[in-house]
Amino acid sequence: MKILDYLKDYAEQDIYPFHMPGHKRNFDFLEGAEAYTLDLTEVAGSDNLHDPQGILKESMELAAREFDSYRTWYLINGSTCGLLASVYALSRRGDKILVARNCHKAVYHAIQLCGLQPVYLFPPVDEEFGVNGSIPPQAVEAAVEEYPDIRLAILTSPTYDGVVSDIASISKILHERNIPLIVDEAHGPHLGFHPAFPKSAISEGADLVIQSIHKTLPSPTQTALLHMCTGLWKNRGRLEEMDRRVSIALATFESTSPSYVLMAAIDNCVHLLADRKEALFHEYIRRINLFAKQTQSLKHIQVLCKGNDDKENHPLFYDFDPSKIVMSIRNLRLNSKEFETLMLEQYHIELEMIAADYALALTSICDTDEGFQRLYDALAEIDEKYGREIARPITPPPVQEVSIRMTMDAARDMPDARVTLDECEGRISRELVFAYPPGIPLIVPGEEITSSMIARLKALIRDGITVQSGYHDLPEYIHVVSFL
Ligand SMILES: Cc1ncc(COP(=O)(O)O)c(C=O)c1O
């Protein structure tokens, strides 16, 4: 089947998209959908993404003003390319880098490519919902005290689930030691646009901030932004040097044939924000608040920080992004896979992601009253039909410590052995293992595989969560280092 046929077929079905991309196929917001007629390259007057002097420069300057950054670059290879370029720009081979363990796998690829030594910060786990909490500033402080040679730090905020870290305090701690901070804000490009959302890392002191505008704003898949801020680098000379380093890094990781369709779409999105953000975000917040109020009626499904739940119940969260709808299914007689299937087959709602203990619906300014209502009606019916009185125990949480036996690169170059999950305890992994989404590694190459890693992996597989690995031999086999 041709991809285009599949896409056309899918688009004709009555399925409501509570998932990315943020434009929700709502054509009220999508100017210029006749994409092919716009598919141009560098011709007279069209400027050049890698040496912007004309319309692209102008557009990126407008974005910098809208997002309040020192400089903004358009990305057409997603946040993935922004993360690779940011880590590459700010590190030197062999550097120690402070990394939140719940970073996306792109960060791990950057660490591998740049030959860095990770020092991990393990976010705590919220026992009720099974989601990661914020990175505590005290943990950052303790890490830089213990490892004074850390040169760079990177963390994700908000997380896929909407948990925000205290970027202002964390950047202050790091900047006192001259360490720049990269924030993966892939899930938070909407943050700066209404006071009901936590503040963006751009205004909280981060140095480079990467945002997937395709995830939560009206912009197509693959479009993203890289913002440079004046956190650590205050004087002009330093800013210009960093500007050059980031530009060179982007030239390394980003396509030399950037799609004008995508760049035009980013430009549309930025203009839409410039022209209509107040009204659009006002309506959006109204919908979120109404939905949150409706969910107070649910007896079994808990919605994180909405309805009968509250931010105050989660001391491990510094803050929470209310755009995320995280539905705990621990009090249902359905596992998350069954919940997802029911949502799709019975209510024609496609969710963004399921994890072992919850499901996630992603919202944006393009959602409609009808969409939110459809989601609430489905939840109310499922809550009534499938409730159970005693909550299922939480799935084994992500690991809180790891033993790094060799670098990722060294593990890649070692001879390979393929073993079953029952045989891999104590072996050194040769591959990255992750649930997708969210693409956060469960096991990293070079690490010793422990019984708790295996327990979590098995629990996820049992619950129907998609677990992937480099060699694609899971769930049967995992690839480890062979010393033979
Ligand atoms: C936290 C996080 N960072 C980065 C990425 C990569 O973003 P992109 O798909 O725009 O390359 C993702 C993708 O899901 C993500 O969840």
Question: Do 224 and 211 contact (CB within 8 A), yes or no?
Answer: yes
Q: How confident is the model at residue 8 (pLDDT cuts 50, 70, 90)?
A: confident
Q: Which atom of ligand 1 is nearest to the CA of 215?
A: 10
pLDDT at residue 27, rounded to an integer: 82
- The Cβ of residue 93 has, within 10 Å, a number of other Cβ atoms equal to 8
Q: How confident is the model at residue 45 (pLDDT cuts 50, 70, 90)?
A: confident
Q: Which atom of ligand 1 is nearest to the CA of 221?
A: 10
pLDDT at residue 394, rounded to an integer: 86
Mutate-to-test residue for ligand 1 from 212, 221, 222, 262, highest number of ligand atoms within 8 A of CB: 212
Q: Is residue 396's pLDDT more than 90?
A: no
Beta bridge partners of 302: 328
Segment 201-222 shows an average pLDDT of 97
Q: Which atom of ligand 1 is nearest to the CA of 83?
A: 4
Q: What residues flank ligand 1, with Cβ below 6 Å?
A: 78-80, 104, 106, 156, 160, 184, 186-187, 212, 224, 437-439
pLDDT at residue 40, rounded to an integer: 83
Distance between CA atoms of residues 53 and 47, nearest Å: 6
Residues 6+ apart with CB under 8 A from 135: 100, 121, 123, 155, 157, 165, 170
Ligand 1 midpoint to CA 159 (Å): 10
Ligand 1 midpoint to CA 308 (Å): 30
Ligand 1 midpoint to CA 83 (Å): 9
pLDDT at residue 121, rounded to an integer: 98
The C-alpha torsion from 45 through 47 and 52 to 53, rounded to 10°, is: -10
Distance between CA atoms of residues 314 and 318, nearest Å: 9
Question: Position 384: which residue type?
Answer: E
Lowest average pLDDT, out of 6-15, 169-178, 237-246, 258-267, goes to: 6-15
Q: Is residue 436's pLDDT more than 80?
A: yes
Which of 124, 100, 105, 159 has its CA nearest to residue 355?
A: 159
Lowest average pLDDT, out of 17-31, 127-141, 423-437, goes to: 17-31
Q: Is residue 49's pLDDT more than 90?
A: yes
Which is it for strands 71-75 and 16-18: parallel, antiparallel or unpaired?
unpaired
Which position has the higher pLDDT, 261 or 255?
Answer: 255
Question: Longest Cα pair distance anywhere in the chain, in angstroms?
Answer: 67
Ligand 1 midpoint to CA 423 (Å): 32
Residue of the CA atom closest to atom 9 of ligand 1: 78
The predicted model scores a pTM of 0.95
Q: How confident is the model at residue 269 (pLDDT cuts 50, 70, 90)?
A: very high
Mutate-to-test residue for ligand 1 from 77, 80, 266, 352, highest number of ligand atoms within 8 A of CB: 80
Residues 6+ apart with CB under 8 A from 278: none
Q: Is residue 317's pLDDT more than 80?
A: yes
Q: Which atom of ligand 1 is nearest to the CA of 437?
A: 14
Question: Position 205: which residue type?
Answer: G
Segment 281-309 shows an average pLDDT of 98
Q: How confident is the model at residue 451 (pLDDT cuts 50, 70, 90)?
A: very high
Segment 61-80 shows an average pLDDT of 98
Segment 38-65 shows an average pLDDT of 92
Residue of the CA atom closest to atom 14 of ligand 1: 438
Q: Which residue has the tokens 């990770």?
A: 118
Q: Is residue 37's pLDDT more than 80?
A: no
pLDDT at residue 6, rounded to an integer: 74
Q: How open is the CA angle 85-87-90, to the nearest 5 degrees? A: 105
pLDDT at residue 348, rounded to an integer: 98
**Arithmetic mean of pLDDT over the chain:** 95
Mutate-to-test residue for ligand 1 from 19, 73, 75, 79, highest number of ligand atoms within 8 A of CB: 79
Say if residue 157 is exposed, middle or buried (CB neighbours under 10 Å; 0-12, 13-18, 19+). Answer: buried
Ligand 1 midpoint to CA 298 (Å): 31
